[in-house]
Copies of this chain bind each other. A is one copy, B any other.
Amino acid sequence: MATKVNIRDVAKAAGVSVTTVSHALSEAHSSRVNARTVEHIKAVAGELGYAPNRLASGLRNQRSRILGLVSDEITTTPFAGAMIQGAQDAASEHGHLLMVVNSGLDNELERQEIRALQQHQVDGVIYARMFHQLVSAPGELNGLPTVVLDAATADPRMSSVVPDEFGAGQSAAELLVAAGHRRIAMINNEDDIPAAHGRLAGFRELLVRSGLELAEESLVAAHPSTAGGREAALQLLSGTERPTALFCFNDQMAMGAYQAAGHLGIKVPQELSIVGVDNLELIADALWPGLSTVALPHYEMGRWAVLKLLAELDDPDAARIQEKITCPLVERESVAPPQD
């Protein structure tokens, strides 16, 4: 392998001293060098592929321009990519790099990783969870500017961003009510988490506002997987007064509802309309017919978290915010008017 080009190589090739190269390539000191010489040195440095040593300049100005992103379950969730990409894009646009570390839900590893990020002098941290939950950030983050991503926190020093779960439930209900449905059921997640409570509350609120109700027998909670959705849908669809429309907690459960409908010979959307949440392309786009669903704004949350962190780095006294981001409806082919 070729060895790294260093400042001495540039000085030699440009026929100037190391100090002159250093000044010429420094924003703070380039005025000390004749402008034509600066041009010449920059051209030589470019030809040689010389990259100034940011470690050294990081020491000088006490900003490394590196942000850390600490996540828990990057492997097992399909959402990690979009959040990280959103954070990455916002960081790049503002001249920062994003250093991603994953704990795999291991608290001790997470503490080690945060200490390692501190040793590498990150300017601040995005503390990301892979589903909306309430967290208390680890003590290791004390003193490090931190924004919490896809989670809420009681810590008044930290801003946070989550999806508007209530609004997601409202949007799903609105789509089904507008299509003319009146016998509407919901398959919720059985876990005691903000997304389950928020989506149900928003869904119910819009039904009530539309003069409908969510009857007790029309609400089933199950494991938030395809198999969980399938079992719950088989139960809901086997009654005598079966619903004409189903709102599922997520796209995986909606896939289970498609399987149940297929098993029972019920056609989607002619005999059963289905709406999910997530807009997981691998499922929502792949189902036949395509699944209408409320998208979770993972990319946008990732962006928001980085932009807020950068704003707080520039102004440590900036107000801390608990942000909720709107979940847009993505319509495909799984909703139609009820047959009568």
Contact = CB atoms under 8 A, between A and B. Distances in A.
Contacts of A325: none
Contact of A252 (B80, B85, B113, B286): B286
A97 B99 contact: yes
Given A49-B140, A142-B49, A100 B84 contact: yes
Nearest to A95: B116
B145 A1 contact: yes
Interface residues of A, number: 71
A113 B101 contact: no
Nearest to A116: B97
Interface string A267-288: 0000000000000111101101
Interface in A276-318: 280-283, 285-286, 288, 299, 316
A282 B74 CA distance: 14
A51 interface: yes
A58 B59 CA distance: 11
A22 interface: no
A99 B102 contact: no
B120 A54 contact: yes
**Most chain B Cβ neighbours within 10 Å, of A49, A76, A97, A157:** A97
A282 B285 contact: no
A104 B230 CA distance: 36
A180 interface: no
B55 A64 contact: yes
Contact of A85 (B85, B104, B113): B104
Contact of A88 (B92, B102, B230): B102
Most buried by B among A77, A78, A288: A288
Interface string A46-61: 0001011111101100
A103 to B, nearest CB: 10
Interface in A61-116: 64, 66, 74-78, 80-82, 84-85, 88-89, 92, 97-102, 104, 109, 112-113, 115-116
Contacts of A259: 288
Contact of A101 (B97, B157, B299): B97
A92 B255 CA distance: 37
Given A51-B119, A55-B120, A142-B2, A84 B97 contact: no
B88 A84 contact: no
A1 B227 CA distance: 46
Contacts of A139: 49
B118 A51 contact: yes
B49 A119 contact: no
Most buried by B among A116, A140, A145, A225: A116
Nearest to A56: B59
Listed from nearest, the 7 A-B pairs whose CB atoms lie closest are A226-B286, A54-B119, A75-B85, A51-B118, A2-B143, A100-B100, A99-B99
